[in-house]
Structure 1
Amino acid sequence: MAQHNELGKKGEQLATDFLLKKDYVILEKNYRYLKAEVDIIAQKKNLLCVIEVKTRSSVYFGKPEEFVNPKKIKLLLSAIDNYVVERDLDVEVRFDIIAIITNKKETKIEHIKDAFLHF
């Protein structure tokens, strides 16, 4: 497996553990719809959280959250729309990013709630 894939899987596990400690219920991991993949779908009370996980080993090329582009946002929106309709859910939806920097020295996790409001 390529090194970046291993880093991504490690990041998704770190994000899952982080969310569980914050009392989120993980509903889905790697949910796919057409060309979209949602890293984590979680619930906290009556709030459905769509979470994109971005993991990097450094900020040399930019912060992890800066790598979520408008095309990815559009794909996430269509996937979660399908998810909600398919399951006939009546919930508020929030889109978050969990940005992770992890290397041999340290691991930093930042949870950016309502992340797409910042674009």
Structure 2
Amino acid sequence: MAAKDELGRAGEERAAQHLTQSGYAVLDRNWRCGQGEIDIVASRGRHLAVVEVKTRRSVAFGHPFEAIDERKRRRLWGLARAWQAAHPDLARGLVVRIEAIGIVGTDPANGTLEHLVDIT
């Protein structure tokens, strides 16, 4: 596995732990369909969170959240709808929102983590 892929997987693991510790129930990870992939799908209260995780070793090439532009947000909304359609029992009655977790550090396990809720 390439170092970039390992960094990304480690970041997603840290993000899932953060969500669980914050009271979320992780429903799905790395869910794929023809439109792309959702890193994490989680629920908390009456919300269904589609979570994009971005992990960087440093901010030398920009903050992780800079990679989540308008085009990416539109794609995440489409993926959210696809996930809901594929999992109607889990999604029923929940309000969908897009969230982002950015992690910066050479080791994602102890890097700086930021969590943005509802990045529409």
Which contiguous aligned blocks of 4+ residues in structure 1 show a shift greater than 6 angstroms?
Answer: none
- CA-atom RMSD in angstroms: 1.4
Partner of 1:114: 118
Q: Which amino acid aligns with 1:97?
A: A
Distance in 2 of aligned mates of 1:48 and 1:33: 18
What's the offset of the Cα at 1:32?
1.0
Tell me the TM-score normalised to structure 2 length.
0.89
Tell me the TM-score normalised to structure 1 length.
0.89
Partner of 1:49: 49
Partner of 1:79: 79
Unaligned runs of 5+ residues in structure 2 are none
Which residue among 88, 95, 106 is the counterpart of 1:103? Answer: 106
Q: Number of residues paired by the alignment? A: 115
Matched, 1:34 2:34: yes
Distance in 2 of aligned mates of 1:115 and 1:102: 23
Percent of counterpart pairs with the same letter? 34
